[in-house]
Structure 1
C-alpha cells in the first residue's frame, strides 16, 4: 500500500492560517479531500495521513470528520494542548476516534527550551498509553533539543517532519548533519522525506540540490525508518505534487523493490497502525 504520510486540508481563513503570508498566495484558498483524491489516484497513492496546520482542537475535529467521510484518509495527526494540566482527559476524549494516529505541536514557532519544559514533557509522556505518535516539527537549529526530548522518552514513537527543515536554500548542511546523526541514533524516531523543496530555493531548486541531504538521511535512518510525504498543498509554493513524488521515486530507485515499498507506505502502515 502506498501512503502519503504528510498533507493538509483547510477551509482558508486568513486569521486562523496567518502563517500563510503574501509570499504563499497559491495557498490562499480551500484545499479539501476532493482536490487531493484526484492527485492520489493519478499517482497510484492508496491513502494519506492528514496533518494539522492550525493549533486548535477545532481543526483536529475537522480533520477527523473528513477522515470519517473519506476512506482514503487513513489517519490524522492532530493537535491537543500538551501543556494542559488535564491533558489526560483531552487524550481520553480523542481516543474514541480510531483514525487519530498522532499529535503535533508547531514547535518551530516556539522559543528555545520549549521541548524540554516540564509541562510539555509531561504531555508527551501521556501519548504512549493512547497509542499515539508524536510528530516533531522544528527547524534544523532545534534538532539538538529534539535529541534530548527523544532521549527522555525512549518508549515513545517519534516522527521527524521534513528532515528537520535543513537550510537547503542557504546550502548549510554541517550542523544539520551532526544533529540528524545524533537523532537517528535513537531507535524510537522515524523521519519523513517531505517538505524538502520548500526548504530549497522555490524558484531554482534542482534534484542535485537535494541529493546531499537525502544521502545523509538514508545513511543514518535506513530505508526502514523513512516515510514518504508530499506536504501538499504547501509544496505548491515550490513545485507540483508530481514533482515531489518523482524526485523521491528517482532517488529511491536504487533500492530494492521491498525497500521502496517500505518507504512509500509499508513503514507508515506499521508506525501509524493503519488498516489496509
Structure 2
C-alpha cells in the first residue's frame, strides 16, 4: 500500500482558519474535499492517505472521522482535541466511539502558533498527552526550530509513546541551512520514538524557485538522523499547491528519497506510516 502520510480537507465558507488569512494564501482559500483528492491520488499511484487536522475544533475532528468512514482511502485521521482539557479522557473515548472512530490514529495541535515556545511542557498539556498515549494514539508535532527543545524534552518524557514530526520541523529552506535546525533534528531523532514526515518542504522554499536538488540536502539530513525506518512521505496537499501540483510534489520527494536508496524510498511511501500510526 502506497500512503500519502499527510493531507488536509477544509472549507473556509463553513469554518474559520486563522492561519489562512494571509494574502499570499489566497490561492488555497477555497474548499478542498475527498472528490478533489481522489483522482490526484489515483493518477499518482497513491492508495491511501492520512487526513490531518487544520483547526483547533472538535467539530473538525468529528467531521474528519465521518469522512474516513465514508471514504475508504482515508485510512487514518490525526485530529485535534484540547490537551489542556481535564475531560480529555472522556472526549477521546467519545471520538473513538463515533462512526469512523476506529480510524483516529493521532492528535495534533498547531504548537508553532503558540506564543510560548515551551507550550508542550506545560503541566496540563503533559497530562493531556498521557491521555493520548494511554489510548495508543500517536501525537503529531507541528513545530518549527523555536519549539524543537520542548519537543525533544517531551519525547524524552514519554519514551514508550509514538511521536510524528510534521514537515521535518519546517526547515528554513528559502533562507539556507540553519545549524539550530540541523542540531535540533538530530537531537529529536536520537530519542528513538519519533518519526519524521518528509512533507511541506516545497512551501518552505521559494515557491516559484525550487526543485528536488534544492530540497535534497534537507531530506538527506532527516534521513541520516531518523534512518530508513522512521521517514514518512506526505504531500501536504492542498497547502503544497502554493508551490506545485500534487504530482510535482510527489515526484520531487520521490526523487530525493530514491537518491538515498530504494529501501529508504519504499519504506517512506507506506511501511513507516503504518508503523507510526499502527494502521491495521
TM-score after normalising by structure 2 = 0.95
Contact 1:127 1:156 in 2 (8 A): no
Between the aligned partners of 2:103 and 2:235, the Cα distance in structure 1 is 20
The equivalent residue for 1:234 is: 239
The equivalent residue for 1:85 is: 86
The equivalent residue for 2:203 is: 198
Contact 2:219 2:257 in 1 (8 A): no
Between the aligned partners of 2:177 and 2:84, the Cα distance in structure 1 is 33
Unmatched 5+ stretches in structure 2:
none
- Trace 1:173-184 onto structure 2 (pairs within 5 A): 173-184=178-189
Aligned length: 275
The alpha carbon displacement at 1:274 in A equals 1.9
Contact 1:8 1:51 in 2 (8 A): yes
- Trace 1:156-235 onto structure 2 (pairs within 5 A): 156-235=161-240
The alpha carbon displacement at 1:256 in A equals 4.6
Unmatched 5+ stretches in structure 1:
none
Contact 1:133 1:272 in 2 (8 A): yes
Deviations 1:63-103 (A, max 9, x none): 11110000000010000000001111111112221000000
Mean Cα deviation higher: 122-131 or 30-39: 122-131
Q: 2:104 aligns with which of 100, 104, 121?
A: 100
- Trace 1:138-153 onto structure 2 (pairs within 5 A): 138-153=143-158
TM-score after normalising by structure 1 = 0.96
Q: Provide the secondary structure at the position in 2 that maps to 1:223.
A: coil
Q: Provide the secondary structure at the position in 1 that maps to 2:197.
A: strand
Between the aligned partners of 1:64 and 1:70, the Cα distance in structure 2 is 10
The equivalent residue for 1:31 is: 32
Contact 1:77 1:103 in 2 (8 A): yes
2:110 maps to 1:109: no
2:136 maps to 1:131: yes
Between the aligned partners of 2:7 and 2:95, the Cα distance in structure 1 is 20
Contact 2:215 2:256 in 1 (8 A): no
Deviations 1:7-63 (A, max 9, x none): 000122386112112211111111000100000000010000000001100000111
2:18 maps to 1:18: yes
Q: Provide the secondary structure at the position in 1 that maps to 2:12.
A: coil
Q: Provide the secondary structure at the position in 1 that maps to 2:46.
A: coil
Q: Provide the secondary structure at the position in 1 that maps to 2:102.
A: coil
Between the aligned partners of 2:201 and 2:263, the Cα distance in structure 1 is 24
Between the aligned partners of 1:235 and 1:272, the Cα distance in structure 2 is 22
After superposition, the Cα gap between the structure-2 partners of 1:255 and 1:179, relative to the gap in structure 1 and judged at 3 Å, is closer
Deviations 1:156-182 (A, max 9, x none): 100000000111111132110011000
The alpha carbon displacement at 1:206 in A equals 2.7
Between the aligned partners of 2:278 and 2:160, the Cα distance in structure 1 is 16
Q: 2:126 aligns with which of 97, 121, 124?
A: 121
Q: Provide the secondary structure at the position in 2 that maps to 1:124.
A: helix
Contact 1:77 1:101 in 2 (8 A): yes
RMSD: 1.3
The alpha carbon displacement at 1:268 in A equals 1.0
